[in-house]
Structure 1
């Protein structure tokens, strides 16, 4: 894992040196110049699987890329991430010819996107009004896609349209079209990620050959579902990148700001708030790493856990950013002076909970599985838990063919907890068992999976699963973690923070000095290029 971060930290260059140009591009709503420079230098090769001649080894490698880039500029990370999102349907279900064509385009720095949403329908992609009419030797495409990242700058796109037999994905290479074949919709003005190409595209009687279908006609929603299992998990990289940058700014402020003849870092309330913010980052890192590894080592569980990751990690990091904002005070709101990137991160991170299925959409996915989750809670299936959790084991190269549409009545995290901690009488285990019983009772009371009570139950499920995951993650990796994070007190504190229980704990000053000396905000000793 460390080697991936070292590689990308060197490629991306010192973070602080990029701040002036990042801010200028944001003010002008211009596409990030450092992102364009990286694209010109071939960064998109890391989105191409190795068997196709690229450098994509595994999803954990891509997670490190996204996190390292997002801690510099969330807008850039999302622009590059959208290229992978648009590529996933082709890597998973595309033909050999489509994979070859996409590989060529990405290798030459051509951007990509996944065009799902429309102005009138938002997240309800099955209601698409972009249509395909089929003739004897071609498809005729009509309609408009809206609020699509890279829709204008993209050279190629995966487009969802409705055919006679249902939703269908099309591989469209814009370089093969004339300017009269489509019309770009103007870039939309957004609250954050101002420089991103959030725009759209309109098709009017566009004639396409029949080999543009990705996978099977009428089966697009299955491809999209599998695509989202990976992309939702990787969205955690954007959150953790923003977390690193905002937390680092806050730490720097507390170590330099003097109030009432005392450094801010030495005030009791600040120590406690800083520790809570750090705990939220640690919980998010543990969940994201675990589920990222599942993507290749236990892919049949991704239908559920990708929704948990996408629901809960942006939620936790929004809390962390809120705490950091409180400590920074007026400086969090300023677009200049000491910490001008902070306000941009506040705005940019707000979008992470929206795309690839909003928090509400992903909580509804979890709620729809409550009948199975009732069985999950007592599950004791034997899986290779250590292979997934212990970072000494390498993950496999990415292969989306093993992703399943549902994990049915199986649950990896609950099985690991029930199997490994049956006889464990530690207080932290007993606390989690109590939380599991509360969750069981709460879910039993849900009869309408579309009601607010179901949403609340899904959020409780996320809390309990994330807390259990944290115990498993730390138990398997204590020999690799920074010492302060391996203690029972620290683990108890993080779990209490996840569960939203009141628990006051203060990390030692050495933890913060380590981060400020040039280390990633992480369980592990990972150097960064500041």
Structure 2
């Protein structure tokens, strides 16, 4: 069991337990992970090691016997696992956490107690919200539920892709219980294997995926599977609300964990290009290499700032957390995948090799591309932002309301997690507030950073003008290319606000040159001109990357020691 300390202390203890990933004899090192990935199997002994660490206790609230009291703790702990293997992190913990949240938020006391016992005993719970046959559109669910004549329901239908399907002791199922596509047509149901006849729930063959190859993914088929009234999560017909509320909590969590994959991908490319370059591999001295490495590092900091704010908002400002959560879910996977693609070009034809350090990079590149729930999930995140933009632009963005400082403290205390305080639509926008107030904090200085911050704040004001011309309360009219473009611009500005908030609280990137680089890349994505000095930030970023790699430190916001390195 990891020592009962602060999250940072538990992360360090877990990292040491996992050991040096470069050690060929390490059973959870890169070599062993690649061997398992080639066999499309979970890493042998990996889950046993995580169980020994008590990592499954991090998924269960403290009031139910676990250690989950702040949502950033499992995100940071599983990031350490994802630095080794996406499949292990997803299969052991992340998939169960995403499903269990529905029970922690909407389950009865009896349901919560049983699922807590399942997880604490080392079991799994899976979620059946998304349906890839319909582009992850839950409103066209292929699982239906009809009355059994005794006050309960009978489940019918199947889903071909469910993480941990055959291993799950319980399933959170979104089933159609009414007509139409609007709210009230679906219900969320907790199906527990031990409480249903075996013949009514059948495991389908394993699904063969190109990305995240080792994680056990299969299908589930229901054949008149009984679901008594007490199996409902919430009330009948509120399945859409259950799903949306849970997504608000889980949207930033898996991207926060998956940032560990990008960390390892970047570190691996530095190692390979630092050897001088061979057979088409660009050397570390090559202009493209230095630009791609520096850019990837700055992108990691950008993503981690947004994730930090999005996850802490669930505690600090739960009623206004829908915007940061959706922005993080859309932007982070996209930016991490772009950074990994840029790094792939450094390796040239060797990027296709499956062995050694090349194989490690290729695996993380593939896993990032397969991050669930894919493109449909990204579109859904933008769609959840769209209806909120007109009202926030009218009522929140022009108001001089400061963002809470506690939103941006990397290791600061958090108030208790209160799911009941969540709201599906935000009244205020803390990340926009952080960007709006940044020019005043910088004063009249005419530094490159101040100039760039004012440009970004002006861009937010222009976005506000466009959004105020949009109709309120008519989301269908917003779901068009123009509306999605506005939402995408918002995510970049929200990320800039998060970076400024983190910087102003004295966290990484504390170096204003690095902050200039992070914001400069954001401005370029927005099509804005940037000061010439932004180019100088690449050299500072490269120096920082090389220093951390040499000292075996993480390349994220936390700059933590890695196993096999020093603690300098």
Post-superposition shift, 1:491?
Answer: 1.1
Q: 1:176 to 1:91 in 2, by over 3 A?
A: same
Deviations for 1:489-524, whole angstroms, at most 9, x for unmatched residues? Answer: 221111011222664231253541323321010244
Q: How many residues align?
A: 522
**Match of 1:59?**
71
Post-superposition shift, 1:200?
Answer: 1.5
8 Å contact from structure 1 (residues 232, 356) kept in 2: no
8 Å contact from structure 2 (residues 315, 418) kept in 1: yes
* SS of equivalent residue, structure 1 residue 312: helix
Deviations for 1:91-137, whole angstroms, at most 9, x for unmatched residues? Answer: 00101111111011111111111112335434221222422222224
Quick one: distance in 2 between partners of 1:25 and 1:335?
12
8 Å contact from structure 2 (residues 400, 433) kept in 1: yes
Q: 1:420 to 1:345 in 2, by over 3 A?
A: closer
Q: Which among 33, 36, 39 is matched to residue 44 of structure 2? A: 33
8 Å contact from structure 1 (residues 325, 332) kept in 2: yes
Give 5+ residue unaligned stretches, structure 2.
1-6, 179-183, 445-449, 472-476
Deviations for 1:297-337, whole angstroms, at most 9, x for unmatched residues? Answer: 11112212111000001111112112211222223221014
Q: Which among 4, 8, 20 is matched to residue 2 of structure 1? A: 8
Q: 1:175 to 1:427 in 2, by over 3 A?
A: same
Q: Decide which moves more: 488-497 or 350-359.
A: 350-359
**Match of 1:342?**
361
Q: 1:355 to 1:322 in 2, by over 3 A?
A: closer
Q: 1:107 to 1:432 in 2, by over 3 A?
A: same
* SS of equivalent residue, structure 1 residue 22: helix
8 Å contact from structure 1 (residues 49, 398) kept in 2: no
Quick one: distance in 1 between partners of 2:466 and 2:335?
22
Quick one: distance in 2 between partners of 1:379 and 1:146?
48
Q: Which among 188, 209, 218 is matched to residue 199 of structure 1? A: 218
8 Å contact from structure 2 (residues 405, 505) kept in 1: yes
Quick one: distance in 1 between partners of 2:469 and 2:210?
39
Q: 1:292 to 1:23 in 2, by over 3 A?
A: same
**Match of 1:172?**
191
1:94 aligns with 2:123: no
1:68 aligns with 2:96: no
Quick one: distance in 2 between partners of 1:268 and 1:208?
61
1:462 aligns with 2:491: yes
Alignment of 1:359-378 (within 5 A): 359-375=378-394, 376-378=396-398
**Match of 1:45?**
57
**Match of 1:433?**
457
Quick one: distance in 2 between partners of 1:513 and 1:429?
28
1:414 aligns with 2:432: yes
Could you state the TM-score of these two structures normalised by the residue count of structure 1? 0.92
* SS of equivalent residue, structure 2 residue 440: coil
* SS of equivalent residue, structure 1 residue 103: helix
Deviations for 1:335-365, whole angstroms, at most 9, x for unmatched residues? Answer: 0143211111111111226359621221122
Post-superposition shift, 1:438?
Answer: 3.8
8 Å contact from structure 2 (residues 79, 256) kept in 1: yes
Post-superposition shift, 1:58?
Answer: 0.8
1:154 aligns with 2:151: no
Q: 1:510 to 1:360 in 2, by over 3 A?
A: closer
1:12 aligns with 2:21: no
Deviations for 1:348-395, whole angstroms, at most 9, x for unmatched residues? Answer: 111226359621221122222221242243232245x21221335312
Q: Decide which moves more: 104-113 or 449-458.
A: 449-458
Deviations for 1:133-177, whole angstroms, at most 9, x for unmatched residues? Answer: 222243222111231111221111111112256311111111233
1:265 aligns with 2:265: no
Q: 1:114 to 1:355 in 2, by over 3 A?
A: farther
**Match of 1:225?**
244
1:517 aligns with 2:541: no
Quick one: distance in 2 between partners of 1:455 and 1:286?
23
Quick one: distance in 1 between partners of 2:45 and 2:418?
30
Quick one: distance in 2 between partners of 1:417 and 1:513?
30
8 Å contact from structure 2 (residues 172, 190) kept in 1: yes
8 Å contact from structure 1 (residues 139, 210) kept in 2: yes
Q: 1:365 to 1:138 in 2, by over 3 A?
A: closer
* SS of equivalent residue, structure 1 residue 217: coil
Q: Decide which moves more: 288-297 or 517-526.
A: 517-526
8 Å contact from structure 1 (residues 31, 196) kept in 2: yes
Quick one: distance in 1 between partners of 2:278 and 2:367?
30
1:292 aligns with 2:311: yes
Quick one: distance in 1 between partners of 2:557 and 2:55?
27
* SS of equivalent residue, structure 2 residue 40: coil
Post-superposition shift, 1:445?
Answer: 7.0
Could you state the TM-score of these two structures normalised by the residue count of structure 2? 0.86
Q: Which among 153, 174, 199 is matched to residue 139 of structure 1? A: 153
Tell me the C-alpha RMSD between the 2 structures: 2.4
Deviations for 1:204-239, whole angstroms, at most 9, x for unmatched residues? Answer: 112233211111111111111111112111022233
Quick one: distance in 2 between partners of 1:23 and 1:457?
41
* SS of equivalent residue, structure 1 residue 407: coil
Q: Which among 495, 507, 523 is matched to residue 499 of structure 1? A: 523
Q: 1:258 to 1:161 in 2, by over 3 A?
A: closer
Deviations for 1:274-294, whole angstroms, at most 9, x for unmatched residues? Answer: 211111011011111111111
8 Å contact from structure 1 (residues 118, 144) kept in 2: no
Deviations for 1:27-68, whole angstroms, at most 9, x for unmatched residues? Answer: 222233344324543421110011110011211101102211
Quick one: distance in 2 between partners of 1:361 and 1:34?
36
**Match of 2:423?**
404
Q: 1:100 to 1:271 in 2, by over 3 A?
A: same
